[in-house]
Structure formats: C-alpha cells, structure tokens
Structure 1
Amino acid sequence: MPGGRHELGQNFLVDRAVIDRVVELAAATGGPLLELGAGGGALTHPLARLGRPLTAVEIDPHRAAELRRRLGRRADVVTADALAWRHPHTPHAVVSNVPFHITTAMLRGLLAAPGWTDAVLLTQWEVARRRTGVGGSSLLTAQWAPWFAFRLERRVPARAFRPIPSVDAGLFTVHRRTEPLVPWGERRAYQAYVAAVFRGRGRGLAQVLARAPRPLPDARRLLAARGLPADALPGRLAPEDWAALWAAVRRR
C-alpha cells in the first residue's frame, strides 16, 4: 500500500489490527460518519462497509478522485481541507487519522464544531496521553472536559504507518457529554479562567487560585473538600474538580 505524501504530513495506516479496532470503535457510535483526512482509504473502505452514510474529506485531489472511483455511491468523497470543513449541526460521528503536523489545530477546530457526538482519533502518542489525562491533562483538555469525555484506547507503534513516523501514535475517543458539567453559555469565561489558573503563579493550586484574576481566598478548603492537596498542580485536576472550582468562582 503506498504511503502518504510528506508535504501533506500524511502517514497512512497500514496495520490491519489497528484498522479493525478503529472501525470497531466507529461502529459503536451512532449517526452518519465523517472521515477527516481519508488519504488512501485504509479506513474509508471498511467504514463504508458499515452501511451508514459516510462523507470522506481528503485534501489531495488525486487521492480523492481515486477514492471516488473505487467507492462509487458507498461514500461521498469531498476534496477539501479538513481544517476548513464545516460540520453539520445534525448528529454525526467523526473518524480521523490526524496528520501529525496539524494535530493541535485539528483538535481545536473539532472541539469547537457543532453536531458531532463521538470522535475516534489517531494522533501522536504524547498528544493522545495528554488529551486523555494520562500523567496529567493539558490546558486544552481541561478547557473542554466539561463538555467532552476523553478516553485512551491504545498505543499504536510507528511501524503501523507508511511512511514510518519518528514517534508512536495513540488511539483515543472523544464523547460529547449529554449532561455538561458547565453550561455551554459559560464556555468562554470558564476557559479563560482555566487558562489563567494553568498559567498562574504560586506553589500549588491553593496559592494560584487565591491570586487568580477571580480569586478564591478559601481555595485551600475547597481543594481539601475535593480530596486534593494544597500543592496540587492544575494538570492533576479531574473534570469534576474544575467544574466545582468554577461553580465556586461563579458564586462569588
């Protein structure tokens, strides 16, 4: 199977076991399927066999044309940039072997997009770990966790791709919460607060929270009530912890 184009940051998936697992995870979701970055169709063809409406987005016009020829009416193949794709507001599930060089931009755009309920994603291993909170969550994950649940599926070795990248990948899922931990209308204010805490000064969260733009003088007590030490770091907080802190900020 030919590999992806270097100039497009493409590393095509060739490991059959990994492909089968991605498709299995996608099959467990509901609604139409949207594949971002279809490439050579390693995922597109088995996804089409699920018998659900499928839209495959591919930036390379030659590969898109080949996919269109081979899939016929089994999928709607669109030649477009996945970063610029406008998601429908109706429920759908997303599948993507995310090009490594646009991982952060892709994730930011996806999390802000409407409609989709579930996503099955392949990214660099370290990104997958941080997004799912393994070893501590990232700022981006903490900012979006009230509305999305992230779950790590498995590590994927670099040899599962062609060309072989310099790092391993990670397979993880994202599920839009049916009951958000924070109202959607408060998203911008909440995310600004989380960013201020992550970047704040202090020896642990108790000090940081007390000095934040919207300070919590009783931060030590609030943390203790959540079972957290005063010197905990922001990346160690669970989504429910952030929601509780935000509720305390709003009460003030």
Structure 2
Amino acid sequence: MKFAVIGGTGLIGSQVVKNLNSAGHEAVPHSQATGIDVISGQGLDEAVAGADVIVNLTNSPTFDEASPAFFQTSMDNLLAAGQKGGVGHFVILSIVGVDQVPELDYYRAKALQEDILRAGPIPYSIVRATQFMEFVDAVLSWTTDGDTVRLPATPIQPIAAKDVAAAVTEVAAGAPLNGIHNIGGPEIFTLDELGRITLSHKPDGRTVVTDPTAGMFGAVKGDVLTDKDAHLAPTHYTDWLA
C-alpha cells in the first residue's frame, strides 16, 4: 500500500515511515521541509495523490488558544485533498482522555480534530496515546524555578515514542477502525513521582515539590490521562531512562 505520512519527518512520523517501508509498503514523508503547508493547502493534492492511506501526524505550533484554528484548517484541507485523491483511510494520533480535560486549550483542540475526522468523508482510525516519555524533561522545565520543580500528583502512564510509532504503523496498515485505539505505557505514576524518578537517574541539582496547581497538568482532574484497559506497550520508564 502507499501511505502519505503528513508530519513524516517528526519524532513519531519518521519512525512510522521507517516501519511502513520496512514492512514492504511505500510510505512517503511530507512536511514543511518537503514543501507542503497544511494551513495554506500548498502541495497537499500532490502529496496525497495515489495514496491509499493518509497518516496525519502534524501538530499545532502552540498549545494555547490558537491551536483549535490550526487543527480546524489543517484537517479541512487534508480531508478535501484526501477525498479528491480517493484516499480510503485517514489516521490521526490523539491523546488518551483528550475529551475529559476541557480546561486545556490544546486538549479541546485535539478533541476538535477528532470530531472533524469523524464527521468527514473518509473512513478513519484514531490512535490515542498516553504521555510520551520523551516529553518528561520538557514538562519538568515548564515548572522549574531555580532548583525547585513544582509538579502536581496527576496520574500519568508514560509511553515510549517508538511504541507509539509501532501502534500507529499497525493501525495504519489495517482496515479503518471508524473508532479509537487506545495505547499506554505499562506503568502508572503520579507526575511528581515521575519527576523524582527522572531526576534520580539524571541528577542536576533540582528537587521536586508536589504542587497541585503547577503547570498544565494541574488542570487535570482524576486519572483521565491513564487507561488500564488500553493496549499496553512493552517499554518501562526506568528501562527507557537507562
């Protein structure tokens, strides 16, 4: 099969392209670096021409109130190009619990992306993943003040990017789900605990203080960002750190 992987040069996209090509498919990466623009629509018709599947792994450049407009415009343009090109399957990567955190602009934007896909003209699959292990350092940096990192005790189920890419690859190569496939890491931690584990493996002088209001995840209520019934990936966080 032929795959147009939009956002195919990024963290997940590059691995999806590699996985699909290794499996004998033809996966072509597309991004701003290759001359396409999902907002203006430049190059999209050409990018998806002849493709059986679109895998959309593009992301909003910001996590703020501008993010819904990005997903609205990019999805409208990609769905139009895909319908014109006769694409039979459209895959996106989303977030476990994305529809349970209306307080966050970015989560509302990703929920909107899912809604646009469901209402669109192309059979689809949504892969929802828990938080990436690769993003933990960034999460710590957001709430660092001097030698102190303030983190809430929000339950988190970290998953390695390679495991996310493997799941996206498998779903994209299969029949459209017209539904959601949830994937998560094998363990659940509170975010403050995860911060302490991270800094114990890579000590840099910072210490973690539990603060229920700190950072973006302070707005999350309960354990909505975890899913014990999700397909569990094999990579454990401490093994990934090592």
The two structures share one fold, judged by TM-score above 0.5: no
Does 1 or 2 have the higher relative contact order (CA < 8 Å, sep 6+)? 2
With normalisation by structure 2, the TM-score equals: 0.29
